[in-house]
Structure 1
């Protein structure tokens, strides 16, 4: 089969409840950052639990091309030996970031503040995504950028020989933009200041402290002021990557929706700026219990016990979006099965994800009989109004949309088919076998049941 040949899959309601104990792959956001910060530090950092999805492997390859030693060990851990802050070299070839907007945007911050030249590209989906939101503030470091109209990849970066510190207020809350600016500020003499209008995931700040950087964070109105002192000596520091809460979302919602289900997910990251979905599901009546809470490399971790629950509609405030921005497609599935109406507010950011996730989520639900509408930047879903399922979902190369549609099929009255499952591995390698291990009925289209 040609590598470009789509691989359709279908999901249907299983004959028995989901049951079992699983661990989801490592947190994608933390995995990207672990490789980047370790590649800027002096010494050897051992990373355990790294997500080995395609997106993260692209980051590993990019850091290797920039002069860091990056290797996977026989025991599954990764070893990164960085040349030290400011010591990266120009890559010999174009950096292909695949489907990863996080990797591309964060890497812009590293490239902008090093005296090197590099060109980045990506797959068709990534080349459609806007990079101007990082290019414009990073230009103030003294770096030069050349991109296609709209700031789209391919992107050529000429890093600043003497990068300037930044003082920038984010117009829209974005952990990716914030992290890119912090990465640039690391190699600039002086203090970089970033204001965010509301708190976003703080993995970069936690990791900066873990590697020895001087960073101060102050509450400012509804947001935060972050001050980073540049040119620290980052020291190698081992990292244990927790399970990704964005990946855990899919088996969680499946277990909530399939009657009689009860599963345990071990070692999930519980950073309070990443658990908006868990809070929302609990407001809907979800039975989710945390046990064995602990801390690893500055991040809160715990095991989750999830039991099937009768969900009710919910009104999700816009200010919760930064803590669950990647989880809205799977939350929309939960809302479609809940009793009564739900309104998910302030979802403008979904329009610039791997696909226009706001439109794509709406299309997915409509194709499967749900009552759904977009009102401005809000998504309105009336749960329990119709029989669900039976549709074909066009995934648009979006891994989260594909997994959400498969979960829909597991709970629906009729099977749901997705046009292509290949892109799931960008964030959740082994998703389908893992779900099958719990009892899910997911198979390649045309395969025997």
Structure 2
């Protein structure tokens, strides 16, 4: 089992370029494979999760060439996928499994989706249920992987009200809707990331968005294009928080995706008093980018607005570290989705914060965190093999007077393979053993 040993550091500086957006990288492989023609991708995230998606489509007969973060996809068209020779192993990637279920539910062939121990515990009923309403045949044990999908089904469009705000469920249904007879419409209770809708439009597919309802009609084609993947705001969030809490910090994060459905972490940190500014805003390939400068800040505890929760759902482990270094209490509610991520992120973060001496109270759908000091003489944190928890506690070393040992950091490779290298280049002191 791999570990981070994060030694005390007080200074953080530099212009940093974090890896490509994970959500966009996944979707670029999926939609590029289903398009007619050659799609060229730059800035692709070379993390294990996105590579799981890439390998799965290669296994279904798509020719995909990769040179570092440049990827060329020879699309096979909407109906061109072939039966894989064996089960598709998606590793730790819940995004891959949920989104691909929508595509594979409509294929002529049977297939099976499997994953690692963590993914095998994650709930898939939330995509199985709407897909079944569309006519899919999917079997599982208690709604969890592995998923066995029976091919040869005729899908029909549905009007579906999402019971919870989830971009993965929304995207799964939209992707199934590409193959469905008639119109597929989804109504979401709160705004979620809209990368699928944007990329479908970029590939020439008509998607109709009216307030909280997204609709498309099946049986159209996707046309290949060029896709530039911006830097992932979820990865950048660790350095935003790191710069806020470091005693001496001045960091600029270059070319970060600031899609308005993803900027909850920026809004939350600004409400907490972060000295954070955006510059050089531009649009590339339908996605908004900016450079984000953050300097040392005096943070204050807040009640996090529930409207921001789905816009920052992946960034909360980092936000919890910010709350621990803030003056006063931070309260998060309406975030039960955090309990079914790669780990129960509420409980695992709470356990780690308690080890660091930070008072907290776990709620059914959130947490209360009392800002304070990391004051235990030694700290060994269990990340539950969750990449975002591993990185969150690593940046806490900027406010510690002792090393922090974090166990189970192997899955950092899924989203941020050069995290340690980049962090150390900015002034941190992290060793992986």
Shift of 1:304: 0.9
Q: In structure 1, which of residues 218, 232, 237 is the aligned counterpart of residue 210 of structure 2?
A: 218
Q: Is 2:351 the counterpart of 1:363?
A: yes
**TM-score of the superposed pair, with normalisation by structure 2:** 0.98
Shift of 1:246: 0.3
- What's 1:54 paired with? 48
Cα deviation, 1:98-129, whole Å, max 9, x if unaligned, reads 00000100000000122221101000000011
Q: Secondary structure at the match of 1:261?
A: strand
Q: CA 1:160–1:166 in 2, change beyond 3 Å: closer, same or farther?
A: farther
Q: Secondary structure at the match of 1:135?
A: helix
RMSD: 1.3
Q: Secondary structure at the match of 1:326?
A: coil
Gap regions ≥5 residues in structure 1:
1-5
Q: Is 2:62 the counterpart of 1:68?
A: yes
Shift of 1:386: 6.2
Distance 1:244 1:160 in 2: 37
Q: In structure 2, which of residues 13, 17, 36 is the aligned counterpart of residue 19 of structure 1?
A: 13
Cα deviation, 1:378-401, whole Å, max 9, x if unaligned, reads 310110266367321111110001
Shift of 1:419: 1.0
Contact 1:291–1:303 at 8 Å: present in 2 too? Answer: yes
Contact 2:137–2:153 at 8 Å: present in 1 too? Answer: no
- What's 1:163 paired with? 155
Distance 1:317 1:47 in 2: 36
Q: In structure 2, which of residues 1, 5, 8 is the aligned counterpart of residue 10 of structure 1?
A: 5
- What's 2:176 paired with? 184
Shift of 1:362: 0.5
Q: Secondary structure at the match of 1:393?
A: strand
- What's 2:25 paired with? 31
Cα deviation, 1:394-418, whole Å, max 9, x if unaligned, reads 1111000100011112322322110
- What's 2:371 paired with? 383
Shift of 1:318: 2.0
Q: CA 1:368–1:292 in 2, change beyond 3 Å: closer, same or farther?
A: same
Cα deviation, 1:269-288, whole Å, max 9, x if unaligned, reads 00111010111101111111
- What's 1:87 paired with? 80
- What's 2:128 paired with? 135
Contact 1:170–1:195 at 8 Å: present in 2 too? Answer: yes
- What's 1:3 paired with? none
Give the number of equivalent residue pairs: 433
Shift of 1:189: 2.5
Shift of 1:81: 1.2
Distance 2:347 2:321 in 1: 14
**TM-score of the superposed pair, with normalisation by structure 1:** 0.94
Contact 1:191–1:230 at 8 Å: present in 2 too? Answer: yes
Shift of 1:183: 0.4
Gap regions ≥5 residues in structure 2:
none
Q: In structure 2, which of residues 108, 111, 114 is the aligned counterpart of residue 121 of structure 1?
A: 114
Distance 2:165 2:99 in 1: 15
